[in-house]
Amino acid sequence: MIVIVGIFFSFNTFGQRCATVYSSDKYTASKVEEIERFIETSTKTTKISGTIYIPTVVHIVYNSSLQNISIDQIESQISILNEDYSRQNSDRSLTPEEFLNEASNPNIQFFLAQADPNGNPTNGVTRTNTSKAPFSSNDEVKFSSTGGKNAWPTNQYLNIWVCNLSGGLLGYAQFVGLFY
């Protein structure tokens, strides 16, 4: 089973919160199983020595130069993501007892994409200057037509958007394919 995670970075963490789009009904459970089957059969991940490597693109959608974060910060966050996924994070000892039996290294590693959807070389980062400030959890950041940046093919890349969010949100995520 492969789990895909949506991650969002924030420019101001003071007093902010995270949100997720999720429901525990039978439809959602069925959709999650369908998504997992799709991922297993159609994603273009690379498996080497039992580890699954997932090409990742980070879309920086910024309204001011302060929001246009550096490649060093992006690489640092990808490194932290890999530490967390491999259970090498420094705070792993704080895992709640009820999750200890499930906590493990799933052998998934993320890396910034080296080729864009057209096969051109890339550093795995797109940068889009927008007049929109800020975005909300309505997914406008994910579409060029609403001031954001369109996703790269989701069966080939993990897409992460970095933007200024409103309403005290630090970030938000949803299961892939549930609402599209």
Model confidence, pTM: 0.74
- pLDDT tens, residue by residue, 24-44: 566 666 766 776 676 666 556
Q: Which domains does the chain have, with CATH numbers?
A: 17-47+54-66+112-174 (3.40.390.10)
Residue 121 banded pLDDT, cuts 50, 70, 90? very high
Q: Which has more pLDDT, 174 or 148?
A: 148
* pLDDT higher than 50, residue 85: yes
Instruction: Kindly provide the b/e burial profile for residues 63-86, where b requires at least 16 CB atoms within 10 angstroms of the residue's own CB.
Output: beeebebeeeebbebbeebeeebb
Residue 80 banded pLDDT, cuts 50, 70, 90? very high
Confidence (pLDDT) at 172: 83
Q: Following DSSP, what letter does each residue of 37-53 receive, concatenated?
A: HHHHHH---EEETTEEE
